[in-house]
Amino acid sequence: MLAWIRSHAGELGRFSVVGIAGVFVNLGVFNLLRLGPLSEDSEFLGEEDRVITAKVIATLVSILFAWAAHRSWTFRGHRTHRPARELVVFGFVNLVAIVAEVGTVAVSHYVLQYTSLAADNVASLIGIAIGTVLRYVGYKVFVFVEHPPEALMEADVTDGGGAP
């Protein structure tokens, strides 16, 4: 395990930097929405408490930030020549992570009845941590693969995609 960590230290460092920046984006957008247009006192989008809506929007904004940063920096050497496929799989990996993140906030807020802004932020941080682990594994295994599966290589050859 230690050897794996050493051999991936640069990538893990870049992933961490992007992740930390993504947390600030996520929490920043979440709090701006919770204290602004989606606050409990706001009448924007109806009278219901919109904590989950704020969390989904914040997570989507942070995902877009992460897509750009990971594609251009963290995994730049592992990009495929099929960015559309990459984007679709990236989206699916993030959908799984969003369910984990939003689920954590929903359980805390609605099931456990921890409804303060501080409690929502703690639950949000826990959800972000779970989502981060799911994303790293998903990106490494499915999105930014070092060696594309043989079926994709063969498809590139038959499609004239550039593989010799």
For the residues 9-25, what does the mean pLDDT come to?
Answer: 90
User: pLDDT tens-digit profile of 55-73?
Assistant: 889 988 988 898 889 888 8
Q: How far apart are CA 95 and CA 87, in angstroms?
A: 12
Q: Which of 56, 33, 138 is nearest to 104 (CA)?
A: 56
Please provide the distance, in angstroms rounded to a whole number, between the alpha carbons at the two ends of the chain. 35
- What would the DSSP string read from start to end of 52-99? HHHHHHHHHHHHHHHHHHIIIIITGGG--S-HHHHHHHHHHHHHHHHH
pLDDT at residue 26 tops 50: yes
Half-sphere exposure of 61 (CA within 13 A, CB side): 18
Structure pTM?
0.64
Q: Where are the domains of the chain?
A: 2-158
If 0-12 CB within 10 Å is exposed, 13-18 middle and 19+ buried, where does residue 3 land? exposed
Q: How far apart are CA 39 and CA 32, in angstroms?
A: 9
Who's near 94: CB < 8 A, 6+ residues apart? Answer: 63, 135
Q: How far apart are CA 34 and CA 22, in angstroms?
A: 18
User: pLDDT tens-digit profile of 90-133?
Assistant: 889 989 998 998 999 999 999 999 999 999 999 999 998 898 88
Local structure of 39: helix, strand or coil: coil
